[in-house]
Structure formats: structure tokens, C-alpha cells
A and B are shown apart, each in its own frame.
Chain A
């Protein structure tokens, strides 16, 4: 019986080694260790043995069974791992295939520029003020020190609807309205919006365009405050190493009036095609609020002073992104619009 047992063990171990799949190995398990298997049979047959042999024989059978079991489990680990590996192998995908597209749109480049400017000034304590695009002549011109017949009205040929109503030619009427509404109190606002002028559309002109203007009124507001504010703006918008310079200019609603240039962000000031070899790029117009404008809105110009500035997001976007034709902003070619997706931070 012992020999039979050894024979059985050898056979079982051979079959375990020979099994190449989990299923085959399971068959071996059933064949040798199962309820109907030979080892079980042997154990069942123990009853026929003499009583004194039983313990020895029982121990022997158990040793064999344990060894077969250990070998089988060891083999099982290996075969299962192989099986998993095989499955993984068969599940391998081509990771170079494109991902499932996530649809995303993006803001218009002008919105992008306007919001960047809004956020910058909001962080400096400004509110955003808006107003109608169809305006009264009074707010668009007269309240801004441009009485009827003023020669500077020629600067901005306008679309009139009636004698007294027109499409606003700048966002300055929002300033006039805000001043009137604030009744002599300090102001810190930024005013973005669409404006309209009688220009034929071409690469550099558009009868509709956008503007963003700022107005600060308070006690002891000085021209140096204007320069400092614009300097912060230029650095945030165009880079920390930007310098600004002010040049005298003229706007009827400010006195003194200036135009602001920034050192060229492309060449740093040495001269290139962006700055037309001058090293400087004109960015905006500004000035100290004209006392007539303050007085007309009910401010005491002896007590409160202010500054204002205005710029064109189209121009800024064209400079920043190197866009050559203003009409791109209004054609809505998706090949143009979708380029303003990614961040520049």
C-alpha cells in the first residue's frame, strides 16, 4: 500500500508539472484530491487495515496529500499568473489612437482681452460700469465738453438716428452717466463696450469696434497717479519689464491730455516691425478730467479731481496676438476664433 501511495504521488506530481492551464490543473486536482480520487479512496480503504497500522498509514497518506496539494497550489499560482498575463496581453490597446473629444469652445479674443483688463482693474478696486449703445448727443458729446459745433466733433464722425440720438462714438458717455448718478461722490470705474463710427471697413478700420475706458475721481487725484496706474496696467498686461512714456495730446474731455506708449514687447525697445522701428508702441489715450466735465456733472472741480483713460481692445489684441486685419474680429471664422483657447499664464 505504501508503494501504491508513492506511485500515486509520483504520478500526481508529474501531472501537476505537465498541466499547462488552470483548467488542466483543476482537472488534476479533481482527479487526485477530489472526493472520488485515489487518495480519498486510499483513506477510505484505511478501515481494512489492521488497527496498529492505521495511524502510520494515515499519517503517510496525509503527508502525500499535503505535498501534492502544496505542489498543486504552487503550480496554480504560476498558471493563474500566466493566464492573467495572457489575458492582459490580449487586451492591449493602441494608445496612440485619439481620445474621445471633449467639446470646448472659448471666448472671442476681444472678450478675452476685455476680461483680462476688467479683472486687473477690479483687483485695484474698480467697478465695471456699462451703458447704452444708442446714446443722447448730450452724454456722448456735450457733457464731455464737446458742445455742438465743436471742431473736435470732426474727429469722430458719427451715426445719428435723430438730431439728438446717435450710436455712441466712445464709451465715455458711461463716464458722464456714472458721474451724474454718483452726485459728486468719488468714482473708480472701468467701462467696456461697443462703439460706432462712420468708417469704411478695411484692414485697420471698422465701423463697429470696442473700447474700454477708466475713470477715477477723488480728492487730490494727480497726474502722477494716472502715470502710476497706467504703468501698473502696462506691466500686468504686457510684461513686467515694460516701460511707459507719456506724450502730450488732445481730447476735449481731459486737460492735460496724453497718449501713452509702452516700450515694444517684441524687441524690448531696440526697434522692430511691431513698433515700426521706434521702440515704442502707442497703446492708449488719457488725461486729467477737464474741469468743465466735472462741473457739468455736478462735481466741485476745486475739491475733486480725476483722471480718465481709454483704449481699444482690438488694437491691443492685434498687437498681443499679431493679428493683421481688424475684420477678423467680426467675420467669426472658426479657424480664427478657436485659436484663442489656451491660456498664456
Chain B
């Protein structure tokens, strides 16, 4: 909402406050002032000029040489506007004038002809092009004939004004009108509000003699008022009216349309003007549209209507979409002589739905949607009649044609001062409360220790005692509220075990050198299921903003890998990222099964200490080590099973298992996938973090520190290449008996000293007895069994 302070002064005394100060007061008491705009833009030296003569420039087709009377002299000005002509009153920036955008006007020579100033368009005075009346949009603005030559344009055009731009919250629909803002400012400054005085002469003929009205949908349209004004002359509006509309952000059209828009801004009540003759039937019928019925609206769009949409008809066909936009067929034009002015109350939900259906939001619909004041519908119609008779020479027919079933009663809210103070934690006196309600123009009575408040219908946001508390508190001043802390019993706060473990996982990964990343949950069809751990249907948004962000992801890796590529493309060759976040799987009920996952992606060097000769690229085992440590830290036994997944290297992929369940995958990207993503060797991991964190961890009990030494034996085995170390380790563990404490691979050799198809794996076995020092014999016995078991599975001892 754009509020001209000069216009506002018509209704309320602003106490000559500097605009910025007024704006600050409004902001601090409830409505945020987003901007304070000086309409003069520091302009000077701009006067009304009279074009005495105008001839073509001999050297330039598009320029005219004008002799312009600027009051104190007649001076020559070269003008390039196509619509310049002798006999016009125009806006002249004199030499030395300043215009918006730091433009200074100087004497100049244009193609050999002197020019003493510039004839201006409205755009050059800082008015937005889309607000300039169409007739002047491509050229200079032409002032009315009675503009006084040599007088100051800023004064004439009311440009010595400041506009407050209000950022309105949806509850403050009341402030979508100048009168509403006047009530707000009046409450803040303790000033009275002056409503416009409405008086006009009526013809002896009645409106009812020319127009009949039927309302077939009283729920959606409980109040409809029509006035008929005849013998009007449709023309350009006076300058003050055009000016006020432009300040409010509305483009002037003609006096009839401008009057309806002016009242929309003044009262917040949308009006519509029909050409009476084009209505053809002398009847207005409000009803729901027939399914598939058509209308061409004022924006020249042909629109198909549905049964739940409310329309205004002439008894036969639609002439307007109620509360949204008028029809082109009955549009007021220069040929119009008789108009029907509609002022109505349309139910907000109906207008919102219709406006949404057609993707059509107008100044009218945006007010109806939030609810207009039931008690302004009739005054707004009267105000329109008055202005049309004043500005368009119209003859107002007596009375109105009315359908009225609208409840216009004020809402009563009862609240006690004690209740107000106890909710606020304050001690506001009864007198101060009374004063504030009075300033708000809420009729209030005191009864049985309660404030009984009649809330004006313009304030439909005030419904319950808490709403009144806010009114009182905001006008009393939020700065006056003391700062206390809740007095209730203190409770121990904290994280749940799940949340605490999530933090442990994060700090472990960060300690291992990974940076935490965050990527988007919405993705493309293509990426949604890549690397997904489970096979379920994807979920698509009803109305995505783009295909790239249309589906809910089922794995974190695709976006995480995009982040890796983003970095390597910028020459950061070593990247190690992790992310925790939800993936979205189809669930049993209507909500999705949201699973918290953890993903890691690594590429480049893991260890880079080149000057000491230590350089290690990331590989499967770097990442596997991190996952294993994660399991240790969380007290769960994670195992790895060889596996396959699309886009992962078939020989370098494993599933991460927990209690026999597959909870994750780890592997190197498939070379093709790496290439497609423009990556070098990249290893990735994704697991169901929730499954991991939901495991209840066993209590930690100390194991006595060994009092006896352990003994170790190494075995180097020659194995077929396809035999996995893990298989052999299991054989050893099973054969080793209870003295075998630990088995560890300490060497792997696959070089050319081995027979074709063979490899050597060396294990270190640790024997230990917690009760006593082991004897050689005991160790030999146990070790012999291991060796025998190894021989049985075909593992040769390497000599």
C-alpha cells in the first residue's frame, strides 16, 4: 500500500511530523513502513509553459523548434516528443533545473538551434512509465488549458509530497485504504478522523425505474448496491485525481474508471462501472456461472467459467466475474453516457478461489479476498455518485437498487484489565487501556470489571480477547514490556540419544577430514533413484518449479557428487564431503517414509605430505576404514558383503551389513560414471543412518588390563587370487580356539614373483590367556590346529 502523506492529510492531522518520523511511529506501533519515498526527488525550477509556436527543425525530422512562454519570458526550446504542438500547456525544466537521476538542465545547441531548457514527460519527473496515462506514455505530458503559465509544476502536480510504502501483513486488510490508514495514524497520534462529506443532487427519476436486480447467490453475495448516473461526459480526469491515482500506483484512464479506482483506494471498497446501454437488458442478475460459460474480460482475455464461480450477468450472459474483473462487452468508453456503478460485498473465499482459478489478481480481488468492511459498501456507492456528478457532469438517479442480507453488526469482545496485564506481564492502568481503545475508535463500556468492546467492522482482525491485548500492547508500546523468564519449574533439557549420536557421527567424520555439505532434497527424475538403497516408487511434486527440482530424492549421493564435480571443476582436486539428510521413500500411510541417511564422497589425495614423500590417493579402503571406525564408535558390529550396484565399480563395491540387514553401500564409482561426472577415482558411501543410530548401545563395562603377555605367530599363505582374505580369516578364527585373541592381515603380495593366479596374504595371529602366562606348548597346539584347517581349505604355507 502506497500512502501519500498529502492525501492522508485530507482525513487526519499528521501533526506536521517529518515523514521519516511518522513512518517510524507507524512501524513501531504495528504496520511496517518498508520505504519513505520523496516524490520531489530534489527537483527544482520546473514550470508550466505555453507553447506559442512549434515548427519542424530544418536539420532534424524528429525535432521541433518551440517558442515557449514560461511566464517571465518566451524562450526557444527544442523538443523531440512526437505529440508536441502549438497551443499546449506543458511541463518545462528551465536551464539550471534538476531532474531525478541527477540530471541537470543546461542551455544547449541541437543541430545548430539553441534550446533553453527541456519539455518533460512524466517519466522524466520520476513517475513510473506503467502509471503514465496511455495518451502520454510515448511523449510529453499535456497539462489542462487552465494551468497557469509560469507557475511551479511541483506545486501544481502535488509532487512536494512523500509516500510511505506499507508492508501489510494479511490481517491488516483494513489498512488497504486511505481511510484505514487514517484511523491507524489517528490512533497513534491521538487525532480524530475526518470522513469525506458526501452530498449531491439527485434527479427525480429513480434508479429503480431503469434497472432491476436479482441476486441468486446470497451466501456469496449478501449485499449488492447499484446506482445509475446518466448524461455523463467521459473524458480525462482532472489533474489532482490523475496525480493521486499515480501516487497510489494506479494508471489513470478516464474520469469514470478513475473515480471507481479512487474510491477503491480511499475506502478500500472495490467498485465497478458498467456502460448501461451496453448491458442491453436494464437488468443485473448475480448468480453462479454455468459450467463452460464464456466471458471476455477487460484485459481482452477469453475465459471459461466454472459452476462455483460467481458472475454478474445482464440476466442472460455474464458481464463481469464478481469481485475479480469486469467484462469487455460492457466496458465504459468515451461513447458512454449512462453508467451503472456496482458496490457489493462478495464473500472472500469465493473471490479467492475464482481469482486463483483464472490466475487473475486485481486491486479489487486482493481486497475482497481479505474481506472488505460491510459498513463501507453503501457509503462507497454514494461517494461514487457524488464524484461522478462533480467530475463527469452526471445526473444521479434517485436512490439505489439494493439487495441486502448482510450482517453489519459490530463484534463484541469482552476482556478484563487483569487478564490483559497477566498475559503481558505488565501493569497497564485501566485509564491507559480506556484511552487506547478510545484512540482506536472502539466503542467501549465497562461492566462488572470487564471491558466490553464493540469492534468496528473495518477491523475484522479483532475477534478474541488476545486480539485486544495486542491492540493495547502495541499502542502502549512494546518497549514498556519488562524482560522476565518463565517462573515455571525448571526441567532438564538435552538431546535424545539419537540426536547425541548424530553429533558423535558428525564429529568423527569431521575428525577424519570430511567437510559437511548440504544439498537440496528436490531433484530430477534421473537422479532420484540413482544409488538408492531400496527399490520404491518416487514421489513427484504436484506443481514443480522446474524438472530439476521435481522429485523427492531417495539417496544423497547424486547431489553430493554434483558438489564434488563443482569443486574439481574449479581445480580443487582433493575433495572429501559428507552429508546427513532425509531421503523420501514411499511409506505405508499417506506420509512418506523419511529415512535419515549419511553419505560420503571422496576424490583426489587422502594424504598429501609431498615433501616427506607421503602421498596417498583415496581408495576403497580409506573409506572402509572410516565406516569401520564409525561402527566401533557407535558400538555396533558392521560387516561388509561383496555386492553390485548400478554405476559402481563391479569389483569394488560392498554392502554394509548390520545384524544381517543391508543398511548401506560403499564402493568406487564405475569408470563410466566417473567419466560422465567428469571425476577421477572417486569413492562413495551411503547408509541408513537412522538404522545405525536407533540401535540401543550396550552399557560400557571395563575389561581388565591383561596381566600376562600375549604371544604372536605369523603365517604367510599362498592363495588363489579369487579367495578373499575375509574367508581365510574366518577359517583361522574358527580353528584357533579360545586362546586365539586376534587375527590381522599384515601383508598382501600379488607381484610377479607369485605364480599366475596366486597371491600371498600374511596374517599375524595373537594368542592370549587372561588367566596365566601361555606356555610354548599351548601355543604350538593351538597354532597347529589353525595350520591344519588352512591346509584343509587349500591354503599353502609360503616358504
Write the residues of chain A forming the contact surface with B, with a CB cutoff of 8 angstroms: 97-98, 100-101, 103-108, 110-111, 115, 118, 121-128, 130, 132-136, 149, 151-152, 154-155, 159-162, 164-165, 167, 186, 188, 194, 196, 198, 200, 207-208, 216, 218-225, 227-229, 231-232, 245-250, 255-258, 288, 290-291, 305, 329-335, 337-338
Q: Smallest CB–CB gap between B578 and chain A, Å?
A: 8
Determine if A105 and B608 form an interchain contact, defined as CB atoms under 8 angstroms apart. no
Q: Please, what's the 1-or-0 string for B493-530, where 1 marks a CB less than 8 Å from any CB in chain A?
A: 11110010001001001111111111111100000000
Determine if A291 and B512 form an interchain contact, defined as CB atoms under 8 angstroms apart. no
Q: B72-80, B158-166, B566-574: which one contacts chain A? A: B566-574
Determine if A337 and B494 form an interchain contact, defined as CB atoms under 8 angstroms apart. no
Q: A125 CA to B491 CA in the complex, in Å?
A: 5
- B575 at interface (Cβ–Cβ under 8 A)? yes
29 contacts between A and B (CB under 8 A): A100-B614, A103-B576, A103-B607, A104-B510, A105-B516, A106-B510, A107-B506, A107-B510, A127-B495, A132-B594, A133-B594, A165-B591, A167-B541, A207-B520, A218-B488, A222-B423, A225-B484, A227-B481, A228-B483, A245-B478, A247-B27, A248-B473, A255-B466, A256-B466, A256-B474, A291-B466, A332-B515, A332-B560, A335-B570
Determine if B169 and A250 form an interchain contact, defined as CB atoms under 8 angstroms apart. yes
- B647 at interface (Cβ–Cβ under 8 A)? no
From B172, B423, B539, contact of A223 by CB (8 A): B423
New contact pairs (6) apart from A208-B522, A247-B478, CB-CB < 8 Å:
A167-B541, A196-B521, A222-B422, A224-B484, A250-B169, A255-B467
Determine if B170 and A227 form an interchain contact, defined as CB atoms under 8 angstroms apart. no
Write the residues of chain B forming the contact surface with A, with a CB cutoff of 8 angstroms: 27-30, 32, 169-173, 348-349, 352-353, 369-370, 422-426, 464, 466-467, 469-470, 473-474, 478-479, 481-488, 490-496, 499, 503, 506, 509-522, 539-545, 549, 552, 560, 563, 566-567, 570, 572, 575-578, 581-582, 584, 590-592, 594, 606-609, 611-612, 614
Determine if B567 and A334 form an interchain contact, defined as CB atoms under 8 angstroms apart. yes
Q: A62 CA to B77 CA in the complex, in Å?
A: 131
Q: A315 CA to B481 CA in the complex, in Å?
A: 26
From B513, B542, B572, contact of A105 by CB (8 A): B513
Q: A126 CA to B581 CA in the complex, in Å?
A: 23
CB contacts (< 8 Å) of B481 on chain A: these are 223-224, 227, 246
Q: Smallest CB–CB gap between B82 and chain A, Å?
A: 39
With A224-B484, A288-B466, A291-B466 as known contacts, state yes or no: A108 contacts B516, CB within 8 Å: yes
CB contacts (< 8 Å) of A216 on chain B: these are 486
Q: Smallest CB–CB gap between B584 and chain A, Å?
A: 6
CB contacts (< 8 Å) of B479 on chain A: these are 245-246
With A105-B514, A256-B474 as known contacts, state yes or no: A125 contacts B590, CB within 8 Å: no
CB contacts (< 8 Å) of A196 on chain B: these are 521-522
Determine if A115 and B503 form an interchain contact, defined as CB atoms under 8 angstroms apart. yes
CB contacts (< 8 Å) of B492 on chain A: these are 125
Q: A194 CA to B520 CA in the complex, in Å?
A: 10
Q: Smallest CB–CB gap between A19 and chain B, Å?
A: 40
CB contacts (< 8 Å) of A128 on chain B: these are 494-496, 499
CB contacts (< 8 Å) of B612 on chain A: these are 100
Determine if B511 and A329 form an interchain contact, defined as CB atoms under 8 angstroms apart. no
Q: A181 CA to B518 CA in the complex, in Å?
A: 30
Q: A108 CA to B510 CA in the complex, in Å?
A: 10
Q: A262 CA to B253 CA in the complex, in Å?
A: 46
With A127-B493, A333-B570 as known contacts, state yes or no: A290 contacts B483, CB within 8 Å: no
CB contacts (< 8 Å) of B478 on chain A: these are 245-248, 258
Q: Smallest CB–CB gap between B175 and chain A, Å?
A: 11
From A105, A247, A258, A337, contact of B512 by CB (8 A): A105
Determine if B590 and A164 form an interchain contact, defined as CB atoms under 8 angstroms apart. yes
CB contacts (< 8 Å) of A159 on chain B: these are 522, 541-544
CB contacts (< 8 Å) of B512 on chain A: these are 103, 105
CB contacts (< 8 Å) of B422 on chain A: these are 220, 222
Determine if A220 and B487 form an interchain contact, defined as CB atoms under 8 angstroms apart. yes
Determine if B515 and A223 form an interchain contact, defined as CB atoms under 8 angstroms apart. no
Q: Smallest CB–CB gap between A96 and chain B, Å?
A: 12
With A246-B478, A248-B474 as known contacts, state yes or no: A133 contacts B582, CB within 8 Å: yes
Determine if A221 and B486 form an interchain contact, defined as CB atoms under 8 angstroms apart. yes
